[in-house]
Structure 1
Amino acid sequence: MRLSYGVIVLLTVLISCKEDESETTQINGLWLDDFNISEGNSNSTKNLLVRVEGSVAETTTIAYMVKEGKAKFGIDLLPGSGSVTLEPGQSNFQIPVQLIGDEHLEITEAFTVELTVNGNTFTIQPAIVDDDSVEAILSDEDGFYTSAEHPSMQLVWQDEFNGNSLNAEYWSYELGNGCSIGICGWGNNELQTYTNNEANVKVENGNLIITAINNLGSYTSARIKTQNKIKPQFGRIDVRARLPKGQGIWPAIWMLGENITSINWPGCGEIDIMELVGHEPAKSHGTVHFDQGGYKSSTGSTTLSSGDFSEAYHVFSLVWDKNSITWYVDNQAFKSFSHQESEFNLPFFFLMNVAVGGNWPGSPNASTVFPQSMVVDYIRVFQ
C-alpha cells in the first residue's frame, strides 16, 4: 500500500508539473513566399504571402507598415498599414498592398514592408515587376530614334554630344595597346592602338565619332569610358548610333562593373549592350560575362530584315533591374537574361570603342575599307 500511494503521489506531481509548463510564441523570422508581384495595367490590391519562421503558441498580433523604396507612393503604390492576428499553430499570413497600374514600361522597383511583433521588428523587400511592353520606335530620314522621355521613368543622365569636344566630366580615354596594364592586344589579340587624337575621336555636329584608321598596316582607333564618373545601377539605357563595317572591324558599346579594380574580370561582370563584327554588318549582339564558379557568358543576337547598321541610325537599348537584363534594337527585344549573380546588382560604367582585328572578327583583309567610324548621337539613362 505504501508503494502504491507513493507512486500515485509521484504521478500527481509529474502531471501537475507538466500542466504548468506552457509553450510560448517564438518568431525568429518572417520571409516572403515570392518577392515579385506583377504590376498590371490598372489599380489593384495584391496580397503578399509571408511565412513565419518559429512557432505561434498563442494568439499573436503582427503590425505592418508599407514604406517607399525605388517604388514611390502615388506613382507605383499607395501607403498602407495595419495588423494581422495569428492563431496558435499558424505558419503564414497575408498582407494587402495597393498597386497603381499603368501601361508604361518600368524597371523592377522594390519597396519595404516593416513588420513588428512582440517588440521585434522584421523587414521584407518585395519588388513590383512591370509586364508592359516598350513603346513604338520613332524614325526620321536619318534612321530610328527614341523619345527623350519615357513615361514612369526619370532621365538621370545623358550625353547628347552637342559640344565641340568630349565632356571630361563624363568621359576619359583609354590609351595604347593594353600592354601597360598586362593585357597586350586588350586581351583579345586586337591590332589597334588607342589614342586621343582628333583623327580617332571627336565630337562634331551633335555626334561622338570614333574612327579606326589604317596607317600602312598600323591601326589606330579610340576607346572612351565613364569609370569613376558615371556609374549607373539599374535602369533603361538608350544609345543611338550608326556603326562601321568591314572584315576585322569590331565596334562595341558596353559596360563593366565599377569594382573591376578590386575584383578583376570577369568577377566584376560585363554587359555588352551592342557588339558587331564587321563581316556581319546587319547583326547586333548582346552579351553578359560573369564568374559563376569559373567564367560564364550568355549571348543573343538580332539581324536587320533589310540593310545593315552602317546605313542609318539605330537605337540599342538595355533594360536592367535586379532580376533580369533585356536587350533591344529599335525597341524590339531580342534577348533576356535572368540573373542572380551579385555582380549585376552593383554600379557599372560605360565604354565605347572601335577595335580592329581580334579573336572574334579576325584581321582586316583587302576587302576592308578604311577609315571606319562609329557615330553616336546620344546615350541616355532612365530610372
Structure 2
Amino acid sequence: MQNIFKIVGFSIVFFCYQLAYSQVDVVYSDLVWSDEFDNNGAINPSNWHHQTQLPTGGNWYNGEEQHYTNELTNSFVENGVLKIVARKEVYNSQGYTKQYTSARLNSKFAFTYGRVDIRAKIPTNQGTWPALWMLGKNIIEPGGYFSSTHGTTSWPACGEIDIMEHGITSWQPAGYVQSALHTPSSFGSTTNIGGTIANNLGNDFHVYSMNWSPNQITFLLDGVAFYTYNPAVKNAATWPFNLDQYLLLNIAMGGVAGTIPSNFVAATMEVDYVRVYQNVQVDNQIPLNFTAAVGTVTSSSVELLLNATDNSGTVNYNIVYGGNSISAYGNSGVQKSVIIPNLTADTNYTFSISASDATGNNALNNAIVLNATTLGFVGCTGTSSEASQGTFSTGYNYSFETIGSNSVKVTFELLDTDKVGVVAYLWRQSPFAETPMSNVSGNRFTYTLTGQTSGATINYAVKFAYANGMSVTRYFSYVVGNTCTLNQQEFDDFSNFSFTNPSHDFISIASDITIDKVEIFNLIGNKVVTQTENTNQIDVSSLSKGMYLLIVYSEHKKGIKKIIIN
C-alpha cells in the first residue's frame, strides 16, 4: 500500500474520529504507538511477539483446532499490509499434530486508557474466528509476551476487551461483528456484548475502534459508536480495566466457530494499521464551577443534580453516603442527574459529593455536603414488592382503614405463589413489637389496632413466615383517620383552578371563583400549610423540596391536585 494512500486514510479516520467526539466520554488525540506495516517480510519484532506455546493439555481454548506458529506462511507484511493466514496443513509442534495453522500476535506495548483504531479486512469463511482484542498485562498464560515478567492474575480477573470478533454468532445476520468484555462478574458466555453490521464484510476494510476511559469502554465501527460498557458499580468483579492491557491479533479455527468445511484451504485477515491514542499533555486544570443540589425526593430515592466544567470535556463525580459510594460522570457544563436508590423511607441522609477529572484533578470546593430526608412511605391501599428483609417474588397487597375514631384495621395479602405454610405477624416500628395476624383466606391476613389517636402517624410492616424462610414488607406510615382521599391526584368537585407548578417560594393560584381556604399536605398526610387570607398567593418558602398535595376550598367545593416544590 502506498504511503499517499495511508495519509489519505489517516485523514479520513481522523475525520471520523472527530465525528465520534459526542459518542465517547473522553477524546484521545495523541498518537503514542502504532504499526503501519510499511516494510515487507517478517513482522516487526520490536512491536510484536508470536504466541505459539500450547496451553496445558495440548489444545487452545474453546475447542480450537489450530497450531499458532511463527512461520512466514502464517504472518507476514506485504505491500503495506499485515497478513495473518489460517491454513489447512498438517503441522507438528510440542508433541501434538494438528490439521490447521495460524498466527497469534501479542503487542509488546501495553497501556491504560486510550483509544485503539485498527483498520482491517477480515475473513468470513465458515469455521474461522478472526479477532482483534486485548488482555490484561498481568495475565498468567503460557507463552504470552508479558506472562513471565508480569503474570500475577488468572483469566478473567485480568479483564478481556474484545474489540472485534467474527464467526462465533451464527444466529446473527450476515455482516455482524461483535464486541465483548469478560470480567469476573460475566465471563465465558458473557452478557457484556454489543454488535453491529459491517457493510460488505470480508471484501472491504473497516476501522474497528475501542475508546477506554476510567468511566466507560465504547466500541465503534468506522467512527460510529454502537456499544458502551459502563457498569453502575465498578469493582474488581465488574471493572478489572484500570491496569495495562496489550493487543492481540489472530485467527482461530473451529471450536465455537463451528465446523470447518472439508474444502477449506486458507483464510486471510489483512491489517492496514494499528494505532493507539492517549492524551500525553499533562492536564493541570481542575474542574470549575462545581455545584450540587437535591432534586426529586421519594420514599426510597434521592435525586442529586450535579454540574461542573472541565477542559477534558468530562467530569467524574463521587458520592459517599452511609458507608456506600456511587461513581458517575457527566459532560462538562451539563447538569448530571444521579438517582440514589434503595433508601429507607422517612430517613435523613447525608451525601458528600466530590468532582474530579480523568487525570485526578479535584475541584477546589470538594466536597459538597447535602442533606435530604426521604418521604414517609404512605399506606392506605396498594400493591408493592419492596422488602425490608428477605425478598418477594411477586409482592403483596396492603390496606389501612380507620374504623370508628380510634381503631385501624390492617390487612396484608401475600401474592407470592412460591411460598408454602404462610403465617403473618404485624411489626410495629417503634418501639418494636410483633403481633400475630388472623388469616382471612388464602394468604390474606388482618389485625385491628385499637386505642389509636386520631391524626397520629403510625408505622407498621408485616412479616410473612413460611417454610424455610421469611420476608418482611416495607414499613408503611399511616395517619389515623386518613381515608386516603389525599392520595388521589385530582377531584372533579372543583378543578377549574390553576397554579405555578413546580413552584419555589410562592404558589400563585388563579381561579374564576373565590377561594376560601388553601391547605397543603405532605405525602404522609401531615398538614404543613393552612391559609385563609390572600389565598391566591401561598408562601411555601419554608417547605422542603418535594411533592405535596394542594387542597383548595370554595364554599362547598373542594379540589385536590399534586404540586412540586423545588
Could you say whether these structures have the same fold, taking a TM-score greater than 0.5 normalized by the shorter chain as the test? yes
2:270 corresponding residue in structure 1: 375
Whether the aligned pair in 1 keeps the contact of 2:135 and 2:160 (CA below 8 Å) is yes
Code of the residue aligned with 1:161 in structure 2: it is F
Do structure 1's residue 352 and structure 2's residue 231 form an aligned pair?
no
d(CA) in 2 for partners of 1:321, 1:141: 28
Matched, 1:320 2:201: no
Tell whether 2:185 aligns with 1:292. yes
Secondary structure of the structure 2 residue equivalent to 1:311: coil
Indicate the residue corresponding to 2:156 in structure 1. Answer: 266
8 A contact 1:145–1:314 mirrored in 2: no
Judge conservation of contact 1:281–1:310 (CA < 8 Å) in 2: no
RMSD: 3.0
Q: 1:119 is matched with which residue?
A: none
Distance in 2, Cα, partners of 1:300 & 1:289:
12
Deviations 1:273-296 (A, max 9, x none): 000007665111000001139875
For residue 365 of structure 1, report the CA deviation from its aligned partner. 1.7
Give the C-alpha shift of residue 198 in structure 1: 0.9
Shift of 1:139: 11
C-alpha contact (below 8 Å) 1:145/1:315 kept by paired residues: no
Which stretches in structure 1 are left out of the alignment for 5+ residues? 1-137
Write the distance in 1 (CA, Å) between the matches of 2:125 and 2:152: 37
Aligned: 1:329 with 2:221: yes
- Specify the code of the residue in structure 1 equivalent to 2:272: D
**Partner residue, 1:157:** 33
CA distance in 2 between counterparts of 1:249 and 1:357 reads 6
Q: Distance in 1 between matches of 2:60 and 2:138?
A: 19
Alpha-carbon deviation of 1:170? 1.4
Is the contact made by 1:290 and 1:297 (CA closer than 8 Å) also made in structure 2? no
Partners of 2:210 and 2:195 in 1: CA distance:
13
Give % identity.
Answer: 36
When residues 141 and 349 of structure 1 are mapped into structure 2, their CA distance, relative to the original with a 3 A threshold, is closer
Kept in 2, the 8 Å contact 1:149–1:155? The answer is no
| 1:363 and 2:363 correspond | no
Matches within 5 A, 1:134-153: 146-147=13-14, 153=29
Q: Secondary structure at the match of 1:344?
A: coil
Q: Structure 1 residue 265: deviation in Å?
A: 0.2
Question: In structure 1, which of residues 172, 175, 180 is the aligned counterpart of residue 52 of structure 2?
Answer: 175
C-alpha distance 281-160 of structure 1, shift in aligned 2 (>3 A): farther
Give the Cα–Cα distance (whole angstroms) in 2 for the partners of residues 293 and 310 of structure 1. Answer: 30
Question: Is 1:237–2:116 an aligned residue pair?
Answer: yes
Partners of 1:192 and 1:380 lie apart in 2 by 28
Amino acid at match of 1:190: E
1:222 aligns with 2:103: yes
**In the alignment, what sits opposite 1:188?**
62
Partner of 2:74: 200
CA gap of 1:139–1:160, structure 2 versus 1, over 3 A, is: closer
| Equivalent residue, structure 1, for 2:130 | 251
CA shift for structure 1 position 370: 2.4
Deviations 1:238-285 (A, max 9, x none): 000000111101000000001112111000000000000076651110
Q: Is the 8 Å Cα contact of residues 111 and 244 (structure 2) preserved in structure 1?
A: yes
Report the Cα offset of residue 149 of structure 1. Answer: 10
Tell me by how many angstroms 1:331 deviates: 1.0
Instruction: Using the TM superposition, name which of 293-302 and 241-250 deviates more.
Output: 293-302
Shift of 1:154: 0.7
Q: Which amino acid aligns with 1:221?
A: S
Corresponding residue pairs, total:
237
Q: Any idea what SS the aligned residue of 2:241 has?
A: helix
Matched, 1:303 2:197: yes
**3-state secondary structure, aligned to 1:147:** helix
Q: In the aligned structure 1, how far is the partner of 2:152 from the partner of 2:74?
A: 30
SS at match of 2:183: strand
Amino acid at match of 1:376: V
| CA distance 1:145–1:254, shift in 2 (3 Å) | farther
Structure 1's 140 and 245: CA in aligned 2 closer, same or farther, altered over 3 A?
Answer: farther
C-alpha spacing 1:271/1:169, structure 2 compared with 1 (3 Å): same
Give yes or no for contact 1:139–1:145 (8 Å, CA) kept in 2.
no
SS in 1 for 2:111: coil
Q: 1:326 to 1:140 in 2, by over 3 A?
A: same
Match status 1:210 vs 2:84: yes
Indicate how the Cα distance of structure 1 residues 146 and 283 shifts in structure 2: closer, same or farther if over 3 A, else same. Answer: same
Q: Is the 8 A contact 2:16 2:222 kept in 1?
A: no
- CA displacement 1:54-101 (0-9 Å, x = unmatched): xxxxxxxxxxxxxxxxxxxxxxxxxxxxxxxxxxxxxxxxxxxxxxxx
Write the letter of the residue equivalent to 1:223.
R
Mapped partners of 1:277, 1:219: distance in 2 = 17
Q: Say whether the 8 Å CA contact 2:52–2:68 is kept in structure 1.
A: yes
Deviations for 1:321-357, whole angstroms, at most 9, x for unmatched residues? 0110000111111110004244101100010000110
Look up the SS of the partner of 2:14 in the other structure. coil
Question: What is the identity, as a one-letter code, of the residue corresponding to 2:267?
Answer: Q
Q: Any unmatched runs of 5+ in structure 2?
A: 19-27, 91-97, 140-150, 279-566
C-alpha separation between the residues in 2 aligned to 1:236 and 1:174?
24
What SS does the corresponding residue of 1:262 show, helix, strand or coil?
A: coil
The one-letter amino acid of 2:182's match is H
Please identify runs of 4+ aligned residues in structure 1 that moved more than 2 A: 138-142, 147-152, 278-281, 292-297
CA shift for structure 1 position 184? 3.7
